[in-house]
Structure 1
Amino acid sequence: MGFLDSVFKRNSELESLFDLDLLYDSSTRSYLKKLALETCINFIGRTISQCEFRIIKDKKRIRNEWDYLLNVRPNTDQSAAEFWQQFIYRLIYDNEVLVIMSDENQLLIADSFDRDEYAVYPDIFRNVTVKDYSFKRSFRMDEVIYMTYNNEKLSQFMDGMFEDYSDLFARMLETQKLSNQIRGIVSIDAQQSLDEEQQTKLQKFIDRLFTSFKKSAIALVPKLKGFDYTETNKGDNNGRSVEELAKLKRDLTNDVANILGIPNSLIHGDMSEYETAIKAYIKFCIRPIIKKIRDELIAKIIDKADYMRGMKIEIYGVTEMNPLEVANAVDKLRASGTYNGNEIRIKLGDEPVDNPVLEEYVLTKNYESADTSEKGGETNNA
């Protein structure tokens, strides 16, 4: 039956079917990296996009052009939410983000740029490109909003780990395909002589046979004299499941979330530990980013003289507590005289109001000093 060797070698599907050659190239599976990064970075971006930026002087909010740019429309093509979500994506994925002010007073996020660093002079940004437009002028550090996230690009840092994960995922995927493969034996009467024309016909018949198995839910095998097909494997997966592939993708996302400070239960929507996870997320992931943004905006928008006179920028909308959830604590803070009404409003994310009552510090009897209250029987004894 030496002629069968040539038949099998000419049919790549038969070769794989009979496990004569199972060498598979592990693909890069770049979508695994994209999936994990997009999931985690966009999670943070959606959070920051809810922020409200307030320029405050003498405990009152100032409504000026910067307030409009930061909260409503930074440029003609983006809303504030879209702008800050893209801002965070660039900051984390590229490890840096550059925002310039155009001649029309629009805030634009640069797609690419070159940075010239100096020791005692402001750094210079050249070849700044936004979309398809490249600015001919250069920008000094004190003219732009520029932030870095960490010491290394997240994408470059994760390349080694993603390569290992992609190799493992590719092997598991190919194993899963093989474990669900339907295999069979084709028997040919050796007494028949097969010339080249008959071999060609046999080859076409076998190709159609396996094509029907791949493309149709029901495939019928004709019974021919001297040709028998016997199925030996009906797709038993030997206990394997696609859940293993899903678990691998979940583990990969968990690793990226851990680096960024996002609790794993939160990124996967697990509500059993929601309260604890959201507090950890705000404290260890969002607060540091908000502080970086606030420090950079203060340095570039408010000059030193105004800052020394009390002008500042505060960011609200994410880190504040829900007033309904902390009503009892608010009552105690007010009744103990620790905070006045407007100070509590600020802590809850609300603006102070012009009400003299809210500027007063209240101390209820429950919090009065023992020296100021009359003790029972002392007056009568006197």
Structure 2
Amino acid sequence: MSRKELEAVMSQSGKNIQAMEFALQMCIDKISNALSLASYETYDNGKQIFGTMWWQFNYEPNQNNSQNSLIAGIVREMVKNDDGALVIQKNNEFILAESFTVVYRAYKPNIYKNIVLAGGLAIHEVFLEEDVLHYTINDSKIKHYLDVLYGEYEQLISGAIRNYNRGNALKLGLKIGTLFDQQFGKKMVGQDEEGNDVSEADVILDEMYENRFSAVLSDKDSITPIEEGLEFSNLVSTAGNTKSGAVTTRDIYDTFLDVIHFAADSFSIPRGIMTGDVADAEAIRENFVNFAVRPFADAIETENNRKLYGIANVAKGTKFKIQTNTILIYSAEKFASAAEALFRIGGYNPNEIRSKLGEERIKEPWADEYYVSLNYARADSAGNASQTTDSNSS
């Protein structure tokens, strides 16, 4: 996030500043964008298949949404809604609910009702726990905690903006000499709405303020009339935040940045991801995927497996799996040594290696086979070199 992007969302003084909402939306966007790059895989007896479920979670969950929009909506509701995100199945399509009511029960399945879908469509069906996909995060009150914390920081941001406006506003004094008052101040030309006498001097000054000065002054600038014999002096001088004494947006930016850091820390997002730091970028990205993205992926994967597959299917390898290691695309040069070692010990097959590099799969049987180098023996062979594995093993 650049300084220009930050300044673009800052409201003017006197308006409600949506700093925390902006920071929270940044976190949601980062996580949902990363999750949309993950690979949503389906398996049948341990073998990866590419059927309807695979298509829906990678491309088209329903006729009106893409995978990106569904994942973004799920993450948004998991964060902002205390009850999490609710997805129902209608006509073999996955549809995200915009709002719903859940009745939590201890010994019976939870009840879901008052469900409203996209476009304000209310459905009057009542669903039980096993009929829906209910995604939640560990601490569903996180948004509430952030709002309370921001209640204190909002005053600091508003104060920083006021100081900036005050420090950069044009402040002028209009000296009024005795000759002006003698010539125009004694001649009355009428009365105002409250019945006070209006002099010709008042009319001239009003015209100057309304017409002449308005062309060069903004709403935050001011001109103060100073009669001859009077003068102003600063009792307290507000110092600028730069060496030159100027007042810049740095204080606003730093205070705003604190709010962004609070939001990032609450979701275990490295601060460098939020601010665009490039120092140690590889480690930052890995921490982001491991500690911020994978918990959301695990919540979605677990809910899908327990509701869509069940214990009997999962136990035999028929399941749903989210591969988050495809979020980071590795360059062929950096990945070459690791890929060779993993291929040599049967850790990855050729197609899996290509997937890590963001390349298309090879539609040949041999590309899905696992290979082990002949100089690797089984651990229980007691060093017998003649007891080696086959070159083709799966």
Same fold (TM over 0.5): yes
Matched, 1:213 2:216: yes
Distance 1:136 1:68 in 2: 29
Residue 252 of structure 1 is aligned with which of 259, 271, 284?
A: 259
Residue 292 of structure 2 is aligned with which of 276, 282, 285?
A: 285
- SS where residue 301 of structure 1 aligns? helix
Shift of 1:187: 2.6
Residue 41 of structure 2 is aligned with which of 54, 57, 65?
A: 54
Match of 1:75, as an amino acid? N
Shift of 1:359: 3.6
Matched, 1:200 2:203: yes
Greater radius of gyration (CA): 1
Residue 166 of structure 2 is aligned with which of 175, 178, 194?
A: 178
- Count of residues paired in the alignment: 338
Deviations 1:237-285 (A, max 9, x none): 5332112212222221111111111111122111122011011111111
- SS where residue 76 of structure 1 aligns? coil
Match of 1:210, as an amino acid? F
Q: TM-score of the superposition, structure 1-length normalised?
A: 0.76
Residue 355 of structure 1 is aligned with which of 351, 361, 366?
A: 366
> Which position in structure 1 is the counterpart of 2:316?
309
CA-based RMSD of the aligned residues comes to: 3.7
Distance 1:126 1:28 in 2: 38
> Which position in structure 2 is the counterpart of 1:18?
none
Query: After superposition, where does 1:120-199 map in structure 2 within 5 Å?
Result: 120-131=107-118, 132-188=120-176, 189=178, 190-192=181-183, 193-194=185-186, 195=188, 196-198=198-200, 199=202
Deviations 1:290-339 (A, max 9, x none): 1111111101111332223221212125457637333223333444x464
Query: After superposition, where does 1:1-382 map in structure 2 within 5 Å?
Result: 27=14, 29-95=16-82, 96-102=84-90, 104-131=91-118, 132-188=120-176, 189=178, 190-192=181-183, 193-194=185-186, 195=188, 196-198=198-200, 199-214=202-217, 238-316=245-323, 318-319=325-326, 322=330, 324=332, 325-335=334-344, 337=345, 339=347, 341=349, 345=353, 348=356, 354-355=365-366, 358-364=369-375, 372=384
Does the C-alpha gap of structure 1 residues 171 and 210 become closer, same or farther in structure 2, counting only changes over 3 Å? farther
Residues 183, 231 of structure 1: 8 Å contact kept: no
Does the C-alpha gap of structure 1 residues 61 and 346 become closer, same or farther in structure 2, counting only changes over 3 Å? farther
Residues 38, 324 of structure 2: 8 Å contact kept: yes
Residues 72, 80 of structure 1: 8 Å contact kept: yes
Does the C-alpha gap of structure 1 residues 42 and 371 become closer, same or farther in structure 2, counting only changes over 3 Å? closer
Distance 2:18 2:293 in 1: 26
Does the C-alpha gap of structure 1 residues 312 and 43 become closer, same or farther in structure 2, counting only changes over 3 Å? same
- SS where residue 128 of structure 1 aligns? strand
Tell me the percent identity: 19
Detail structure 1 runs of 4+ shifted over 6 Å in the superposition: 230-233, 349-353, 365-370
> Which position in structure 1 is the counterpart of 2:4?
none
Distance 2:102 2:368 in 1: 53
Q: TM-score of the superposition, structure 2-length normalised?
A: 0.74
Distance 2:16 2:56 in 1: 40
Distance 1:115 1:365 in 2: 56
- Which has the higher mean CA deviation after the structures are superposed, 110-119 or 239-248? 239-248
Shift of 1:26: 7.8
5+ residue gaps, structure 1, are 1-24, 375-382
Distance 2:203 2:59 in 1: 71
Match of 2:365, as an amino acid? D
Deviations 1:200-231 (A, max 9, x none): 34223233343123259xxxx9xxxx999x99
5+ residue gaps, structure 2, are 1-11, 189-197, 387-394
- SS where residue 315 of structure 1 aligns? strand
Distance 2:286 2:69 in 1: 25
